[in-house]
Amino acid sequence: MKAAFTIYVQGKEKKLLSFFRIYLFFWAVLPFIISCGGGGGGGSEGQGGGTPAPSPPGSDTAYRVYGLNFSPYLEGQDPNLGSEVSEQQLRARMAIIAPHTEWIRTFGCTKGLEKAGSIAQEMGLKAALGAWLGRDLAANEREISNLIAAAKAGQVDLAVVGSEVLLRGDLSEAQLIEYINRVKGEVPRLSVTTGEVYSVLLAHPAVISAVDVVFVNYYPYWEGIGLDHALSAIHGWHQQIVKAAGGKAVIVSETGWPSCGNQVGEAIPSPENASYYFLNFVSWARANQVSYFYFEAFDESWKAKYEGPQGACWGVWDKDGNLKAGMKDVFEDKTIPDNWSGNSIPGGPGAPAVEFAYVPPYGSFEDLRGQVWHVKPADFRVAVYIYVSGWWTKPTWANPLTWIWNDGSFTCDITTGGIDQNATKIAAYLVPNGYSPPLTYGDSTLPTELEQNSVAKVETTRSP
């Protein structure tokens, strides 16, 4: 996920993740980007073949990933400044990763990138060729025309029409769908999709209806989620997307973790964290038969100018084409046991319980933190309410339930509008997953059905 987006909560506009405001600025000033974008990933349980075939005889790779997001730029090149990619450069960069992946995915179809599909197929790879879409309609036309030409020549295995276009606000939903339908009409036998962050897709069901395959981005790092909870978050997001897809195949189009850069919330970039995330994500994808494109093949120095220092550190290989420390574990066929499904029971068997681990002081904008005990986190959620001249659902009416991590902990943003920081009471109910809690709009009392449908409750009072 490259930036926060705005929602309207109880009549007030508020950023979902305030620490993304500076990052959003970088994308606001970019009119368009021709090549590989910097952030997002998803998949489908039981759909799409999440375990690639064994590597060819003689290869030193025991396991090949399903796919890699591939951008071939070298040090000193910047697609925003018009850098062109030669066929020789494409071949050289692709040859480095070819033994380690089944697919490559590109983000542009001009300035040399339109040849990526044919070269990939020559190397025995499948190609998800992308057309970069932005606000420049003339540039969009060149991208779409080249993508259609490559597809008609049989050089495309999956056509990707735009990447995070709606997240950036570059095009309207109607404009994006028009481009998607145009490509589908020109190459009717080819699967066509667009890459988007999971939350944007959930907010745009018409886009899900328009594509042949759902192509979804998951970025725990950009949402400030710590490494220990990252795959648990993806597991939950993925279930929402699979449900919204209505039977269509779901592929993770982007996910990754930077090996350097700024800390975002509880997400800390480092070489060790990047390699662990790579192994943990691939383990999740293989266990759940999820098809995926990992972000990304190589570090790209040019991106630091637009995304901060972490922009240059998303690669499995460094900018010079050297495999980073720890990344080889994935290619050596190693995996990590389930730490994402939430089927263990924190505290062991016992009476269900919920408690507050940290209650922000009156006037604070910090998040509420809590802990549940003696239940499987996957089977339950937490319904949180605050009292500010009446009871209000938190974090939002659109998202009235808070996810519980595998260790039983949970975090809830209780200041999403109005003067929430001045709440005098906070209540939390432990409810079964699937239950739709009542929404409150400044009600004088909490609905009695909460007591009837919850298995545990906690409430606290705070004052100025």
Q: What is the pLDDT of residues 44-73, one digit of tens each?
A: 333 444 545 555 544 678 999 999 999 999
Contact 437, 399 (CB under 8 A): no
Do 358 and 232 belong to one domain? no
What does the pLDDT read at residue 219?
Answer: 98
First vs last C-alpha separation in the chain: 37
Read off φ and ψ for residue 435, nearest 5 degrees.
Answer: -75, 135
Is 387 part of any domain? yes
**255-286 per-residue burial string, b: 16 or more CB within 10 A, e: under 16:** bbbbbbbeebbbbbbbeebbbbbbbbbbbbbb
The list of the chain residues with pLDDT below 50 reads 1-49, 51, 57-58
pLDDT of 61 reads 86
Residue 170 domain-assigned (yes or no): yes
Asked if residue 396 and residue 272 are part of one domain, the reply reads: no
In a domain, 341, yes or no: no
Residue 38 is predicted with a pLDDT of 35
Identify the pLDDT of residue 56. Answer: 54
> Would you say residue 117 lies in a domain?
yes
CATH number at residue 66: 3.20.20.80
Tell me, yes or no, whether 209 and 268 share the same domain: yes
Q: Tell me the residue type at 89.
A: Q
Domain that holds residue 439: 353-461
pLDDT of residue 60: 73
Q: What is the pTM of this model?
A: 0.82
Digit-coded pLDDT (tens) for 302-315: 999 999 999 999 99
Instruction: For residues 152 and 203, state if they share a domain.
Output: yes
Q: Is residue 120 part of a domain?
A: yes
Same domain, 215 and 109: yes
Structural domain count, the chain: 2
Q: Report the pLDDT value the prediction gives residue 41, as an integer from 0 to 100.
A: 34
Q: What is the pLDDT of residue 52?
A: 52
Percent of the chain whose predicted confidence (pLDDT) is above 90 = 86
